[in-house]
């Protein structure tokens, strides 16, 4: 099947994911909480590192790598925590139950130990790859780039596995890789159209708002553009989580209303 057809299938499924989001607008709150928590915690983390620098004796690189690991860890934890809650809420919708953000967050709290361990694993891998990339030559950068792509593909289903299966983080990585290898091959055939949707949305919203605000003051234009960008990215991230959840359910043999099996089969190229 041609690339255009696969991208068309990805577009149709992503649009249906937006329909689920439209029917459950409260799901937007979870990405908002995720983004807000990220800003606050990273600001607190940065302040703590800054104030500790004068009392903790670390080499320049050691200090940098510690901060890098902390950044990756906080990022993985916050995103994973709220995405697990979002996955839980999406399952409620697919099962015809009333969607409850409180139940979704409570579920994430119950899985917090597993989420913490997954965050450590993700942060460790991310830090190692970044260190190798920065300390190596062009060949090393290419190799670590390839490894990073493989890691992202292998962990594509980690969050739904953590949310829907009673398993630990290492088992979740293996399970995610097994699902990808068994059902989808080893290479993505499309980007689910979300990148394109996000780009178009930013052009339609952020750019006009910038020029409109800039008529008063450049800072106003920038503020409006940033505000619009945050809203667009929040909506896209929520819809993408719905998409991944729906695909996971279908790959597990559970039919969900927003996806056709033929669409799923053709989103990826089998090797």
- Phi/psi at 57 (nearest 5 deg)? -90, 100
- Residue 149 is encoded by which pair of tokens? 């792509």
> According to the model, what pLDDT value does residue 271 have?
46
> According to the model, what pLDDT value does residue 50 have?
62
What span, in angstroms and rounded, lies between the C-alpha atoms of 193 and 13?
9
Torsion of CA 80, 81, 85, 90, to 10 degrees: -10
- Residue 3 is encoded by which pair of tokens? 């690339």
Which residue in 201, 269, 265 sits closest to 15, CA to CA? Answer: 201
What span, in angstroms and rounded, lies between the C-alpha atoms of 88 and 117?
19
Q: Is the pLDDT of residue 58 over 60?
A: no
Which residue in 19, 3, 20 sits closest to 267, CA to CA? Answer: 3
Verdict on whether the full-model pTM lies above 0.85: no
pLDDT in tens, 66-98: 878 888 898 889 989 999 999 999 888 887 888
Which residue in 204, 72, 178 sits closest to 125, CA to CA? Answer: 72
Least confident among 20-29, 47-56, 126-135: 47-56
pLDDT in tens, 6-23: 566 667 777 788 888 888
pLDDT in tens, 132-152: 887 777 877 888 888 888 888
> Bridge partners of 269?
187
């Amino acid at each position: 099947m041609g690339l255009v057809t696969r991208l068309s299938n990805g577009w149709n499924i992503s649009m249906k994911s937006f329909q689920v989001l439209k029917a459950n607008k409260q799901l937007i709150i979870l990405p908002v909480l995720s983004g807000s928590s990220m800003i606050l915690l990273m600001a607190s983390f940065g302040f703590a590192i800054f104030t500790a620098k004068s009392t903790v004796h670390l080499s320049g690189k050691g200090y940098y790598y510690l901060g890098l690991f902390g950044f990756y860890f906080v990022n993985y934890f916050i995103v994973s925590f709220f995405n697990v809650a979002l996955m839980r809420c999406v399952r409620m919708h697919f099962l015809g139950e009333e969607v409850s953000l409180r139940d979704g967050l409570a579920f994430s709290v119950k899985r917090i130990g597993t989420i913490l361990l997954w965050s450590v694993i993700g942060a460790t891998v991310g830090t190692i790859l970044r260190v190798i990339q920065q300390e190596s030559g062009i060949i090393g950068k290419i190799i670590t780039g390839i490894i990073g792509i493989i890691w992202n593909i292998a962990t594509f289903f980690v969050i739904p596995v953590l949310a829907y299966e009673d398993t630990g983080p290492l088992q979740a990585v293996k399970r995610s890789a097994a699902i990808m290898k068994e059902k989808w091959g080893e290479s993505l055939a499309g980007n689910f159209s979300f990148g394109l949707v996000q780009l178009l949305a930013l052009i339609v919203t952020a750019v006009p708002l910038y020029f409109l605000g800039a008529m008063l003051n450049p800072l106003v234009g920038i503020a409006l553009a940033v505000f619009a960008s945050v809203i667009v990215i929040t909506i896209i991230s929520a819809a993408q989580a719905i998409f991944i959840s729906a695909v996971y359910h279908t790959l597990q043999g559970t039919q969900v209303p927003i996806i056709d099996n033929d669409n799923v089969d053709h989103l990826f190229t089998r090797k």
